[in-house]
Structure 1
Amino acid sequence: MKFCVYLILFCVSLIRENLSNDLILVDDSSNVDKIDEKFEIIDEEFIPTHEWKRVKPGQAIPKGLHVRLNVQTGEREAKILEEEKPAISKEFEESLKRINNEQLIPEKSFGDVAHEDQIHKKFKSYDQLKKELNDINFNVQTDFEIIKNLLEQFKSSNRDQKIAILKDLEFYVHQFDNGLLLCDLGGFDSILNELNSTLLNQDSEYAQNLIIVLGSAVQSNPKVKVYAIKTQLLQIILNRMSTRVLTDELQSKFIFTLSGLLRNFPLAQNEFLKLGGVEILSNLMRIINSIKLKTKILTLTDDLIREKIAVMKDEHDEKVVRQYEQINLMGELIEKKWCDHFSGLLAVADDHDSIEKILASMMTLLNSCQVRLQSEELVKILKNHVDVYENLAKTEQDDDYFARIAKNIKTILNEVKSKQDL
């Protein structure tokens, strides 16, 4: 019970305190005079101040004052209305302080020529930007325009200029569509005719660049390969490769182009056999000295044999299978005594990459080269190699690579031994 009494007294005191502090904005003193009280009207003028001042009963007050009813005294009070200034947060004040006045751009007065010149120096005008953009757009050319311009320049250029143009063309014709453009614009024929009429050994650099462009165009581009066959590129390549006086650099470029033309193109492979291509390669293997170049030729023939094996095993298109069935590259190689080259190559090869590729070719022809691989000289060379690679597999970091080579040698030796025991 006592608690309830205390609570009521506490609430009354809060109400009285709040009422004494509440402000009422008066727009018209007549609203205040409507309070239901009886009081005497006083003619004395109320002179307001900035402090709260008692308003006598019945005394009129001017408009626009703050008026309150003091509950403690029961009297009205009024004072001059002061406009409240908006509160500024501390964060805003701090941000104002941090502004660097030097970064503010002063308002440019009329006729400030120096300021205007400074702006022109710092920024480009609209007309300048427009001109530069137009220039850029004018200089941007499509691959079609570039290749066309290069071929036009090629016709009237000197030897050094032509080499530079050929290097540019090599870069572009690697792309599928650009290889087709080279054919459509007559560039393939022009370069092939130039190659056919060039004395290769008299200008080896120029000839090599001609060959590389053609080789780059046919690589992985079936449509260009078909076009190349029609232009008799294969005949020209084989004819030039049969020349005994060519440098290894030239022969290497011809192998590059021949490889690009034959891979995954059974029509060209069949034509290659009809034109005596295996005999030409076999002759090259006997007359050239470069082990790396001989290894390139071995790798090409090995890849073509493996390609046919893969197609006959996995290809479901009967037309494609029939095309590969007509190709007897392995038979041609055996007939031209291809297996005789292995012994001599392994005896002089001094780098792991060449040895690995020679062994891979031997593995492919293992069953077909049985008699040739049984020579004592070859067996001795193989045994020496297996010892070397087994030791390398134990001591070198790339042990898997050397172990794989050693395994291939052992496979060949075991096959040779099994045939000897029969």
Structure 2
Amino acid sequence: MQILVLLASVLILASLQKSVATETDNKTSEFVATKEWQVIAEGQAIPKGLHVRINLQTGLKEAKLLDESERGTALQSQPEDQDQDQNQQLEDNEPLALDYKPDIIEESLRRVKEQKKSYAELRKAYKEFQKNFRTDGELIVQLIDQYRNFSKTPLLESQMRSKLDCLENLEYLLHQIDNALLFIDNGGLDDVLLPIVVNDTSVPLRVSAMRVLGSLASNNPKAQIKVFEKNFGSHLAQILMSSGNAGEISAALHAFGALLRKFPLAQQRLLSTSGTQALVKVLQSPEVELRGKAKVVTLISDLVLEKRSVLEASKDANEAASTMAQYVLLEFEPWLQSQGYCPAVDHVMAKDFMHLLEQPEVVEQFATALETTEDLCIATWSQSSGLRHALLTIRNRYANSKDEYRLEVAHILAKLCERLFNKPKHTEL
């Protein structure tokens, strides 16, 4: 029995020695490639022209013979002069050894700490932003108070810039209906705009204030009522009659139009007195440029069309009786006629038509106004050789243009000339 045990021990020991010897031989012997992937032992040489890869699951190098379909596309073993570069690429793709892992953990922890610090800084910055954040309402109240403080001290050049900046910010904010009403409720009309429009001698300030006024009154019925009650309409009409500054006239027209549009009571009160006179006065003024006069005829045309559309719509809809009564009482066209609107437009077109040739958008504004008020002024305009000459000259010039917009305006003028002068075939001057 002991002999058998001893014999078995000798056989096992021999087998183990053979296994170790075989493994050692494989590590030092040349790699024998097949069509299957085989692990490349540490330090084992491999022949050229094999397909070599790193097994991403085990982290070991493997190689096999190239298939025909892989030639030219697979990663192959390189010649000896490129072995160093290839080995470097393989090393770069190898998984990190165990002794590198603590460094990775430390680096990760460091980055996490940095991210936490950045996040804390973001929270702090956000809290500072919240402290400085202001709603539109808070900004409006702040700007009103700021302007009140300005008015308590003598006007300096630096304060002029600050005042203009304040008004510019208000013009932007007051386009919104709620913001405009908040401005009015906090005394903005009385403490900011009214003193500038009525008493201030600075033209830039008056221009900015009237732009703010136009901004808050546009399409805002409640604001229109407040502006009307403060008698801004009369002050604006006075500026239109007395000013020779193009910017001031433009701003006043903007505010005046914002107050009057879709507000028949204001139209009745203002246009029956100084309002219509002021508009015609701008048309007659030699100091006002054509673009300013075009804004006047556009406003007049809009107000005439507004009344007509309301009266026409009332035939098919149940309009409020009070609104209808206010428009019925409006006699804007007779007021225009009595103030000399028809000859004023005739004079502008006859005198300045050469300047209109290069301003087709202004020509279109005048053409629209001529169409709108044609019935009112046809007796004057149909007999005006100067107006006829101006319209035909502009029409002929635009009709020979290649510009589509000019061609459209020429078409409008042709129809207008046909109605006014009843000579549709006349093309020669």
Secondary structure, aligned partner of 2:262 = coil
Deviation at 1:239, TM superposition (A): 2.6
Give the 5 Å matches for 1:30-69.
Answer: none
The answer on whether the counterparts of 1:346 and 1:355 sit within 8 Å (CA) in structure 2 is: no
TM-score, normalised via structure 1 length: 0.69
Q: Which residue of 1 aligns with 2:57?
A: 92
Residues 179-198 of structure 1: per-residue CA shift (max 9 Å, x gap): 11111111122223322443
Q: Which residue of 2 aligns with 1:312?
A: 311
In the aligned structure 1, how far is the partner of 2:394 from the partner of 2:299?
Answer: 24
Secondary structure, aligned partner of 2:394 = helix
Higher Cα Rg, which structure: 1
Residue of 367, 370, 378 corresponding to 1:370: 378
Deviation at 1:411, TM superposition (A): 2.2
Residue of 134, 144, 166 corresponding to 1:141: 134
Are 1:165 and 2:166 matched, yes or no? yes
Q: Which residue of 2 aligns with 1:176?
A: 177
Q: Which residue of 2 aligns with 1:225?
A: 224
Letter in 2 for 1:381: A
Alignment CA distance shift 1:177-1:105 (3 Å): farther
The answer on whether the counterparts of 1:180 and 1:224 sit within 8 Å (CA) in structure 2 is: yes
Residues 308-353 of structure 1: per-residue CA shift (max 9 Å, x gap): 2222223524223333222221221122221112333223142111
Give the 5 Å matches for 1:261-300.
Answer: 261-287=259-285, 288-300=287-299
Deviation at 1:259, TM superposition (A): 1.1
In the aligned structure 2, how far is the partner of 1:182 from the partner of 1:411?
Answer: 48
Deviation at 1:260, TM superposition (A): 1.2
Residue of 409, 416, 420 corresponding to 2:420: 416
Letter in 2 for 1:249: G
Q: Which residue of 1 aligns with 2:388?
A: 379
In the aligned structure 1, how far is the partner of 2:267 from the partner of 2:129?
Answer: 47
Alignment CA distance shift 1:166-1:101 (3 Å): farther
Residues 108-141 of structure 1: per-residue CA shift (max 9 Å, x gap): 67xx9xx988876665266544432321221221
Deviation at 1:367, TM superposition (A): 1.8
In the aligned structure 1, how far is the partner of 2:109 from the partner of 2:55?
Answer: 39
Alignment CA distance shift 1:198-1:314 (3 Å): same
Alignment CA distance shift 1:326-1:123 (3 Å): same
Alignment CA distance shift 1:365-1:106 (3 Å): same
Using the TM superposition, name which of 301-310 and 321-330 deviates more. 321-330
Secondary structure, aligned partner of 2:57 = helix
Deviation at 1:408, TM superposition (A): 2.4
5+ long unaligned stretches in structure 1: 1-43, 51-88
TM-score, normalised via structure 2 length: 0.68
Secondary structure, aligned partner of 1:367 = helix
CA RMSD of aligned residues (A): 3.6
In the aligned structure 1, how far is the partner of 2:263 from the partner of 2:298?
Answer: 17
Alignment CA distance shift 1:240-1:289 (3 Å): closer
The answer on whether the counterparts of 1:345 and 1:358 sit within 8 Å (CA) in structure 2 is: no
Secondary structure, aligned partner of 1:106 = helix
Query: For this pair of structures, how many residues does the alignment match?
Result: 331
Are 1:340 and 2:343 matched, yes or no? yes
Letter in 1 for 2:328: E
Are 1:106 and 2:99 matched, yes or no? no
Secondary structure, aligned partner of 1:92 = coil
Alignment CA distance shift 1:234-1:367 (3 Å): same
The answer on whether the counterparts of 1:192 and 1:233 sit within 8 Å (CA) in structure 2 is: no
